[in-house]
Amino acid sequence: MTLKITSLVENTRVGEHLACEHGLSLLMEWRDKIFLMDTGASDIFKENAEILRKDLTKVDYVILSHGHSDHSGGVRTLCDTTRRKFQLVANLQYFNKKFKREKEFLRYIGNDFNEEFLQIENVSTIFPLTDTFLLVDDVYILSGIPSVVDFEEEANDFVVLRAGQYGPDRFEDEQVMVFDLPTGLVLIAGCAHRGIVNICEAVKQRFPKPIQAIVGGLHLKDSEDARIEKTVNYLREEGIACLAIGHCTGERGLHFLEDAGLKPGSLSSGTVLEFEDS
């Protein structure tokens, strides 16, 4: 069997026939299950899925990486399209309100739906109660990523409203996927707000196998050069064979990776990745 990952939407595209936006949505087909990580910022993921001949009504699980609108903007469209046949997987803290500080005001950048919407729409929702949650055989949802490196503790403009209090967003709602293949682990990260090094270290602590691939965003677009350089050095030292990254990684991050000889692969709308399950 082959793990097949199709990028339904990303910031860039592989052909004029597909659309792109600042957002991310990845479709994963493996064994007898279909998984969707995030839905982009709008209904573009659905339009691209139709062009790519991917039937969203067959999706078994929808995993929401974190509560930003560029990853959840298509949830309402997905519900209308699929008649809610999927199971949605979200962190317990997913519905905390998200904002971005812009000079003297906060701009809302969170979801356009809430828990009540899911109840009204009769969406079956899974809230993992463990940091390493077995979704189906050899497919895990990871959360509770600890901070183990100081250079990923950057100041940022993200704010969260939790229990009536505004404060810095530490992205405690973030979750990533891990496919446990015989040849190694495939790590799927929506934005890696917790820091890709912190995430990789958590994966190493929880699994005996090495990471063979990282797919998703690394959120380095607003980072200082020092952090990007340390991140790139870490990924190089780990010897991860495949880096299919984009979205929030940023051009500077990609340039640093290229200069280090890591040759990051594309994640543009329409990109297809395959990993052998053998």
pLDDT value for 277: 80
pLDDT value for 134: 98
pLDDT value for 1: 77
SS3 content of the chain, % helix, strand, coil (to 5): 25, 30, 45
pLDDT value for 81: 86
pLDDT value for 159: 97
Whole-number Å distance between alpha carbons of 115 and 123: 10
pLDDT value for 82: 82
Question: Which residue has 């997913």 as its token pair?
Answer: 94
pLDDT value for 90: 98
Residue-range domains of the chain with CATH:
2-276 (3.60.15.10)
pLDDT value for 85: 84
Give me the average pLDDT of each 10-residue run along the chain (278 residues): 95 94 98 97 98 96 98 96 88 97 96 95 95 98 97 93 95 98 97 98 98 97 95 96 96 94 94 91
Nearest to 193 by CA among 213, 211, 212, 168: 168
Tokens coding 167:
């404060």
pLDDT value for 148: 97
